[in-house]
Chain A
Amino acid sequence: MSVGLTHYLVVSLLLFCLGLFGVLVRRNLLVMFMSLELMLNAANLALVAFARYHHNLSGQIMVFFIITVAAAEVAVGLALIVALYRQRRTAHVEDLASLRL
């Protein structure tokens, strides 16, 4: 059995759902953040697979952009989480509900 586009896409989908699941159910901000990265990488995988099977490089170029943006986002996001932790002594989302009336 040869590995086709569908397999890649299924893996990508599984990864994405795992990430989404992590974001929705894990209570730790750090873990939620990592799950978010997982979702981005699932998208990357799908893009690379499409680029390979359509012989079109623009998908791979998009992946580079996503990795760059994700790196920047990780830097900002981690900095925010660290700052938040220093302020509140917690990284648990349920304790961070001060926006509620």
Chain B
Amino acid sequence: MLLAFLGSLILWARDATGEPAVTWLALGTGTGGLQIELGLKLDPLSRLMLLVVTGVGSAIHIYSWGYLHADRNRGRYFAGLSLFTFAMLGIVLANNFLMLFIFWELVGVSSYLLIGFWFARPAAAEAAKKAFLTNRLGDFGFLLGIILVWAALGTLSFTELEARLADDPAALGAAASVAGLLIFCGAMGKSAQFPLHVWLPDAMEGPTPVSALIHAATMVAAGVYMLCRVFFVLAVPGSVALELIAWIGGVTALLAALLAVQQNDIKRILAYSTLSQLGYMVLAVGVSGASRDPSVAMYHLTTHAGFKALLFLGAGSVIHALHHEQDIWKMGGLSRRLPITFWTFLLATLALCGVPPLSGFYSKDAIIARTLESGHHGLFALATLVAALTTFYMFRLVFVAFTGPAKSQAADHARESPPVMTLPLLALAVPSVLAGFWGIHRVYGAQYGAEPAAAGSWAQQLVEPFAHAPLAAGAGLAAALMGWLGAWAWYRAALQDPLPARFATVARWLRDRLYFDELYERLIGWTQESLARLADGVDRWVIMGVAVKGTHGTFELLGRLLRLAQTGNLQTYAFVLVAGVALLLFLVMAR
């Protein structure tokens, strides 16, 4: 893993681009045939994503060694993790839709395996199944989208597709919106966007490093990565796909942020936070239609991968120290007991909340500014609100879990995790703090043909957002401040959650996740029940009744009729014989 990271660094340093490809399968010939190539695509987008995957992946592999040191099934765990990394790198490097799809599915499988790593726990097994099925639902749309694109343009290679769409933007015709939305379906499943968001919080049943790697930093980001990769399909003029994508992203961000406010499981809070940030990224893709440059989404993806992995690993460290206690109301006072975990966690929280000069501020600000620039004022307000909520729930978590008195025995006797776990925390803290200065958005910008802006000095970069779009930066900061004040007022010294007492109904709704699971259960249950009833009716009446019983009945009736002729009386037979002969004679003679 570390070797892979070093390799990516070398690729990065050498500024490598290229697209080696071999033809893997050729179905049919000529222009109508399906040529499937197995190829790699290296460009700024995939190079930086490689760094993210291998970098975060390395930290998490090392961390897992400490987290799972007592688990008998460590071999299976690392096999799953490696399979995931392989598949994820496949997605990053794929140069055509089909390869992307194959690795996409592989990622889904490894995610399934790792969520269900503790398969003996029913909740984990259920969560794995749920994640897999929900993903399949999205992937079905994705596959349809791929087929649609292939049917319209006759190629699956990204390079060729882009060239073709650049030549003739109307090549997809009326199917553009449909294709875009179908492809977005895949991202919707993988990146857990509303309404397919339900699997991600449940996926927290897996081991915490898995949650960090797969369900926070990389796999769920694959959806966003894919959207950026095929942005040229989505951004076809006349397609409404982007507008819808923006709104779905916005709704997801808001919904998840609201739900996070009333969760008590430390990992679930982070899961909803991930959902919310993914919503941000999707929103960023959606509002980038005018500028034809979704680099802000990738920017946030990159910084988010760093600090969210850090948050999850910090949460894992807390859980590990507290012997698998995940309820934040049974923690408290951990800042003294787990200093390294606390400080790195706090840094990541600040980054997530968008406090300058940490990385999250720059990327989040870029998104809010882009929303404002593109004229989506509703989405701008929504994004700002989400920023406030983000700070609120994150500091609720920090205040409750890390400050105040210890609320349980375990919290009182917690000990800091071993270095094999804290070192990755420290390593990940670096990008969380500094990623804002590395000019990541410029790298991604190059992918979409933006003119490379001159990198200013550190001081200039520090204040760049304020100079660039003061309103957005100000709004983001004000939102963060408000959220912090709210959390400070309510949770600074709370021993139990004050919200359910004040807003009982709302709090209950939020805690029960707005009843999405129940709704889906009913809906799917109802659909399945009616389908089953229909199938049963068809089986009972059409197949059993008409086909089986009808055939059998007809022949039985015929048999009974024929039996009447068999009297067993010799003379009756003789008479019939004679009558038959007479009839034949008559017929022959009468001519």
Contacts and interface: CB of A to CB of B under 8 A. Distances in A.
A67 interface: no
B574 A101 contact: no
Contacts of B569: 93-94, 97, 100
A82 interface: no
Q: How large is the interface on A (under 10, 10 to 19, 20 to 34, 35 or more residues)?
A: 10 to 19
Nearest to A26: B571
Interface string A32-59: 1000000000000000000000000000
Contacts of B566: 99-101
A18 interface: no
B575 interface: yes
A20 B563 contact: no
Contact of A24 (B563, B567, B568, B571): B571
Interface string A48-86: 000000000000000000000000000000000000000
A98 to B, nearest CB: 7
A58 B280 CA distance: 112
B506 interface: no
Given A20-B578, A24-B578, A100 B568 contact: yes
A96 interface: yes
Nearest to A99: B568
Nearest to B567: A100
Majority-rule SS of B interface residues: helix
Contacts, number: 28
Interface in B555-591: 563, 566-571, 574-575, 578
B570 A101 contact: no
Q: How large is the interface on B (under 10, 10 to 19, 20 to 34, 35 or more residues)?
A: 10 to 19
A27 B571 CA distance: 8
Nearest to A25: B571
Interface string B250-271: 0000000000000000000000
Interface centre among A20, A32, A99 (most CB of B within 10 A): A99
Contacts of A15: none
A39 to B, nearest CB: 10
Interface of B: 563, 566-571, 574-575, 578
Closest 10 CB pairs of A and B: A100-B568, A97-B568, A99-B568, A93-B570, A24-B575, A23-B574, A24-B571, A97-B569, A101-B563, A24-B574
28 contacts: A20-B578, A23-B571, A23-B574, A24-B571, A24-B574, A24-B575, A24-B578, A25-B571, A27-B571, A32-B570, A32-B571, A93-B569, A93-B570, A93-B571, A94-B569, A96-B570, A97-B567, A97-B568, A97-B569, A98-B568, A99-B566, A99-B568, A100-B566, A100-B567, A100-B568, A100-B569, A101-B563, A101-B566
Interface of A: 20, 23-25, 27, 32, 93-94, 96-101
Given A24-B574, A24-B578, A25-B571, 10 more contacts: A20-B578, A24-B571, A27-B571, A93-B570, A97-B567, A97-B568, A97-B569, A98-B568, A100-B569, A101-B563
